Amino acid sequence: DVKVTQSSRYLVKRTGEKVFLECVQDMDHENMFWYRQDPGLGLRLIYFSYDVKMKEKGDIPEGYSVSREKKERFSLILESASTNQTSMYLCASSLGRRQETQYFGPGTRLLVL
Amino acid sequence: QQQVKQSPQSLIVQKGGIPIINCAYENTAFDYFPWYQQFPGKGPALLIAIRPDVSEKKEGRFTISFNKSAKQFSLHIMDSQPGDSATYFCAASLYNFNKFYFGSGTKLNVKP
């Protein structure tokens, strides 16, 4: 079974703090993704990565950065958290470049005060 | 601008009913259309997917209907059960490309 784990289920941070969200997958998948989920807006892609040290912007990259130093780990970084980044963050991974199933982690609910 | 439009936002049906969730897209280059199911506290998981060379696909009680000319596709859940209560997302992607465009989601409540 594919397993995607996220470092925290809930996080509370203050405005201006630097926030790290970690994601690890155990199936040697090439692709990893970060989404945010907001009511009425569905899942919106923030960043994705097709390979180690490689990253591509998704649809809403502003205010975020990512790091992929190892194949199994993909980190999302909020350089200076703002209240409008309060959201559910979902990490996903998939096997290859084709239209593969994306496997999601359980999500991290982030509250920025 | 949302690439995939999903409706309704929420849906309540009685057990045994057939909820229908609809999605529409504009980009005719999309050629893979998955549906994901998400239970509270969990990440979304693939439910069923279709490619535009077929008009219908069934897996158990779940059916996707696809209308290429109308650029619409829908999910039907036959004999719905309370355990089907979840949020459903449609999505679309381009050929040979693993980036998905998700709809806004439909929260389904199946009453006993």
Determine whether the interchain pair A106/B96 forms a contact, defined as Cβ–Cβ distance below 8 Å. Answer: no
For residue A28, what are the β-bridge partners?
none
- A5 interfacial to chain B (CB closer than 8 Å): no
pLDDT for B2 equals: 76
pLDDT for B31 equals: 87
pLDDT for A100 equals: 75
Chains A, B: CB contacts within 8 A come to: 59
Determine whether the interchain pair B98/A58 forms a contact, defined as Cβ–Cβ distance below 8 Å. Answer: no
pLDDT for A96 equals: 79
Token pair for A19:
């926030």
B103 contacts in A (CB within 8 Å)? 42
pLDDT for A64 equals: 97
pLDDT for A14 equals: 97
- Which parts of chain B sit beneath pLDDT 70? 1, 96
pLDDT for B63 equals: 97
CA dist., res. A49 & res. A21, Å (int): 15
**Model pLDDT for residues A57-94, shown as the tens digit of each residue:** 999 999 999 999 999 999 999 999 999 999 999 999 99
| Rounded alpha-carbon distances, angstroms, from residue B2 to B27, B42, B112 | 11, 24, 34
pLDDT for B98 equals: 76
pLDDT for A99 equals: 65
**Model pLDDT for residues A8-55, shown as the tens digit of each residue:** 999 999 999 999 999 999 989 999 999 999 998 999 999 999 999 899
